[in-house]
Structures are given as C-alpha cells and as structure tokens.
Amino acid sequence: MIQRKQSLYFLAALILILLPLFGTSFFNYFSEEGMEYSYNAFNFKQVGSGPLILNKGFEWILILIISLILVLAILSFKNRKRQIQLGWLAFTMNVLTSALIVFHAFLFESAHKTDASLVIEMTFFAFASAFLFIFLGIQGVRKDKKLVDSLNRLR
C-alpha cells in the first residue's frame, strides 16, 4: 500500500539512499599540488591523469542492504511490528554507514598529512538525511498501530 504516508516516507528514504549508487561522489579533495581525489560508494580514486584507484570501497554493499531492508519495510505493511523493527534496523544502519563514510574521509585527510581542501558533495547530505525520512516512517507506523489498537478496543 504505497499510498500510506509512512510508505511514502520509506520510499523517499529509499530513493535518497540509492542516490550514491549512480557514481556520484560523497567527498572531493583538492590538494596543494593540484591533485584531485574523489570518494564515492565504490572506490576512492585520484582524478586527473588517469583514474588511479587508491582504495576499493565496500559502502555500496551496505547501501544495498539498507535498500533491501527498506523495500521489505514497505512491503510488510500488514505486519506493523515487523515494519517498525525493519525501520529501526534501516535507521541504525544508515546512521552507522554515514559515520563510516565520514570516518573514511577524515582518515584519508589525516593519513596523507596534506592541506587538502575537503569538499562535501550533495550526495552525502542526501544519503545522511535519509534517516529523517526513515524516522518519520517509523512514527507513521506507530500512529497507525495506535489507531488500529484503539479501534480494536472499541469493538
């Protein structure tokens, strides 16, 4: 039932979470030497004179797992308890993945000890703000569960 408010919130979160899989970068670094580095869900690479891949990322696996959990949350509209549990699991994994991405960004900056300017891209903000929509979806499911429980008491 995609017309429910909480399902629309979960769908908006799913779209925001899937955004980094299109190859857009979370962060860009610009070093003093004129080198540009790009950090996306698949790898961390040097841009410019040939794509030298510095580190292969595994964030895309976490993004797919969160997306699968959100799809299961959307499809389990008949079981509200499971929908709340899946929502909290997706919420926790989204916050932890966002923290991992920030950790990797600052780890690169501290490891290379250069005065690289860090540019945060909109993809990271979209991915990190998906937890707000997941939380709103959980709140919607709770209100729906409360309404159904009160109707059952009246019967």
More confident site: 151 or 69: 69
| Mean pLDDT, rounded, for 99-105 | 84
* SS3 category, 14: helix
The DSSP secondary structure of 16-68, one letter per residue, reads: HHHGGGGS-EEEEEE-TTS-EEEEESSEEEEESSS-EEEEE--HHHHHHHHHH
Q: What CATH class is the domain 5-154?
A: mainly alpha
**Is the separation of the CB atoms in 76 and 82 below 8 Å?**
yes
Among 95-99, 108-112, 122-126, the range with the most confident prediction by mean pLDDT is 95-99
Residue 53 is predicted with a pLDDT of: 66
| Mean pLDDT, rounded, for 99-109 | 80
Instruction: For residue 21, name the pLDDT band (cuts at 50, 70, 90).
Output: confident
- Least confident window among 111-115, 140-144, 146-150: 111-115
d(CA 110, CA 148): 53
Instruction: For residue 3, name the pLDDT band (cuts at 50, 70, 90).
Output: low
Instruction: For residue 136, name the pLDDT band (cuts at 50, 70, 90).
Output: very high
The DSSP secondary structure of 71-140, one letter per residue, reads: HHHHH--S-HHHHHHHHHHHHHHHHHHHHHHHHHHHHHHHHHTS-PEEEE-HHHHHHHHHHHHHHHHHHH
- Least confident window among 32-46, 104-118, 128-142: 104-118
Domain spans in the chain, listed from the N-terminal domain onward = 5-154
Q: What is the pLDDT of residues 23-82, one digit of tens each?
A: 788 887 777 667 777 788 777 777 766 666 666 777 888 999 999 999 999 998 888 899
